[in-house]
Amino acid sequence: MVYVDEIDVDREGIAEMILDENAIAQVPRPGTSLKLPGTNQAGVPSPAIRPLTQAGRPITGFLRPSTQGGRPGTMEQAIRTPRATYTARPVTSSSGRFVRLGTASMLTSPDGPFINLSRLNLTKYAQKPKLAKALFEYIFHHENDVKTALDLAALSTEHSQYKDWWWKVQIGKCYYRLGMYREAEKQFQSALKQQEMIDTFLYLAKVYISLDQPVTALNLFKQGLDKFPGEVTLLCGIARIHEEMNDISSAAECYKEVLKQDNTHMEAIACIGSNHFYSDQPEIALRFYRRLLQMGVYNCQLFNNLGLCCFYAQQYDMTLASFERALSLAENEEDAADVWYNLGHVAVGIGDTSLAHQCFQLAVANNNSHAEAYNNLAVLEMRKGHVEQAKALLQTASSLAPHMYEPHFNFATISDKIGDLQRSYVAARKSEEVFPDHVDTQHLIERLKQHFAML
């Protein structure tokens, strides 16, 4: 049987995000909600230095569920956000994923199902604890029949006179899968009173994250660390929440604690490396990425990051070799597009604008929703004096990525130069909404206001 790691945070489907009825407050206090990650501004890097995701969260160093899109505010934004690693299509429902996992995990006999669940006498099996546990895992993981699994778990708990913590955890898992988070919370808390287990802490934290209560989840992880000092999964959970709350400095400290306990933890190494890179320390980031290479990680993303670190650390001999290796290891067009985009930056850095133009065009050819490449192509076209082409590219970039301030600001600058003050002002205001602290945008808006005052 194939076991599924239930502890890791699930990818939320569009239905789960938009039709979420578990909201605690529509306007939460700053620093208490994952839905408004930008509200906790302690140590948040500027969007001019570290790019943001569509949800307004700085890009992390490690791809995992919930890091790409966050929690979109509108249905249109949810549909546009790619929710999976290898596809630009949003995940429509999390339940379909469990069905597919179940069908692939065990071969059934050609005559019919391995076990006919509708004919099972659950009361009889509930009285045989060892058999009941194996049967529950088959029903829950393989058949994905959560309701039958819940009935069996309830009968088994009753038979054990509510003294078996394991069954309480399983009931909590069933309630969580059914979206009954408050009932799941009660079961996990009851199980923790009987037997303190690391997995139970992680399941309960998962419930609080689904209820958008990151502060409660943090406190729970800290309680877990009091009972299990130095436990890596609990430290990693704290780091992930800090990262989702935009508290990057605290997240980095937690990842360093993780590395003190387990110096081969890939997520911690990748996130610390990414943090050093965006903190203008490419040499230190290079050491962390080399460590990943020594550990046997051998993929496109790692060589892409190595190439960027080498370039910014002025180790030019390794830069192109790393990018060539990254291109040869690219598994899909999105990965290849990112590598070509970064090669375009290298070309801009060495002053070869024609090579940069070709690289950005190759990025767009591989991934025609690569907003950053459209934006940079527009800048190069503007330098050549092709104003209309630059405007068209910037409009494409801003429609593909409304969370980026650069296309709006560039469009405002071009419109201002050609005398289209109204469009310039509209674009500048959009840029200000996305990145309020951008000084150049503020200066442009002030200048336009003076123009309008003189009319």
Please list, in sequence order, all residues whose beta carbon lies within 8 angstroms of the beta carbon of residue 402, skipping any fewer than 6 positions away.
54, 77, 430, 434
Letter for the amino acid at 315? Q
Q: Which residues of 381-396 are buried (b: 16+ CB within 10 A; e: fewer)?
A: bbeeeeeeebbebbeb
Task: Name the residue with higher pLDDT: 60 or 218.
Answer: 218
Q: Quick one: CA torsion of 307, 310, 314, 315, rounded to 10 degrees?
A: -100
Handedness of CA 347, 348, 353, 356 (dihedral sign): positive
* Confidence at residue 455, expressed as pLDDT on a 0 to 100 scale: 75
Give the mean model confidence (pLDDT) for residues 320-343. Answer: 95
46 has pLDDT over 70: yes
Q: What is the pLDDT of residues 54-76, one digit of tens each?
A: 555 567 677 765 554 444 555 55
* Confidence at residue 55, expressed as pLDDT on a 0 to 100 scale: 54
Give the mean model confidence (pLDDT) for residues 25-33. Answer: 71
Least reliable range by pLDDT among 14-23, 116-125, 273-282: 14-23
Decide: 157 and 164 in contact? Cβ < 8 Å: yes
Using pLDDT thresholds of 50, 70 and 90, give the confidence band for residue 338.
very high
Give the mean model confidence (pLDDT) for residues 411-438. Answer: 94
9 has pLDDT over 80: no
Give the mean model confidence (pLDDT) for residues 96-116. Answer: 56
Q: What is the pLDDT of residues 155-191, one digit of tens each?
A: 999 999 999 999 999 999 999 999 899 999 999 999 9
Lookup: tokens for 290:
């080399």
DSSP secondary structure string, 166-223? HHHHHHHHHHHHTT-HHHHHHHHHHHHHH---HHHHHHHHHHHHHTT-HHHHHHHHHH
* Confidence at residue 22, expressed as pLDDT on a 0 to 100 scale: 63
Mean pLDDT, the chain, rounded, equals: 85
Number of C-beta neighbours around residue 318 at 10 A: 15
Using pLDDT thresholds of 50, 70 and 90, give the confidence band for residue 143.
confident
Alpha carbon distance 388, 382 (integer Å): 9
Alpha carbon distance 340, 359 (integer Å): 5
Q: Partners of 38 in the beta sheet?
A: none
DSSP secondary structure string, 293-308? HHTT--SHHHHHHHHH
